[in-house]
Amino acid sequence: MERDRLVKLSKRMSKALRHNPGRVGLVLDAAGWVPVDTFLTAMGISRPDLDAVVAGNDKQRFAIEHGPDGVERIRANQGHSIAVDLELRPQSPPEVLYHGTSAAVLPSIRATGLNRGGRHHVHLSADTATAHRVGARRGGAVVIITVNAAAMAADGHDFYRSANGVWLTESVPPAYLLT
């Protein structure tokens, strides 16, 4: 029961920090940060609950740090549908990266590649276990797509690595899909 409550809270936090901060009265700075005290008040949650969600989130969706002014702040590491500058710098990716998805959408992906939809980037994993976990969240049969990230980078596509290790890129054209 406690786990279910924290999962629901994590989803509420994600919605507020990634998609609709105004719904709970939050204003994020240009990089997506908001003071922790302001966040706790807006969300109506306790600090122990916040700490439990941040520590227990297997995808490390959230970051907490002290800003340049010494104020503790929180943000989502990636996955925003609102304008934020995560201050990511291009990095050389590993030779291959992985994307977990539902088998039902595989024909569309093979035809058009991986597209970011309403988010800033396509999310890729460095290992198949993580990709499988991501793909399983939608239910149904999971397919792991292997992406030729080295060839993409060689052809001028930028890759970024978020604070929680997720690899990000604008899109993955079909030519770079290995499976």
Question: Which position has the higher pLDDT, 38 or 133?
Answer: 38
| Pair 76, 61: CB distance under 8 Å | yes
What's the pTM? 0.68
Residue ranges covered by each domain of the chain: 2-76, 97-176
The upper half-sphere exposure of residue 113, i.e. CA atoms within 13 Å in the direction of its Cβ, equals 16
Bridge partners, residue 171, by sequence: 115
| Pair 162, 78: CB distance under 8 Å | yes
Segment 45-83, tens digit of pLDDT: 999 999 999 887 666 789 898 988 999 999 998 778 888
Reported CATH class of domain 97-176? alpha beta
Q: What strands, in cross-sheet order, belong to the sheet with 62-66?
A: 34-35, 72-76, 62-66
Which residue type is seen at 176? Y
CATH number of 2-76: 1.10.10.970
- Distance between CA atoms of 38 and 118, rounded to whole angstroms? 27
User: pLDDT band at residue 163, thresholds of 50, 70 and 90?
Assistant: confident
Segment 101-151, tens digit of pLDDT: 999 999 999 999 999 877 778 989 999 998 998 888 777 789 999 999 999
Query: Which has the closest alpha carbon to 116: 75, 69, 167, 46?
Result: 167
Q: Do 97-176 and 2-76 fall under one CATH topology?
A: no
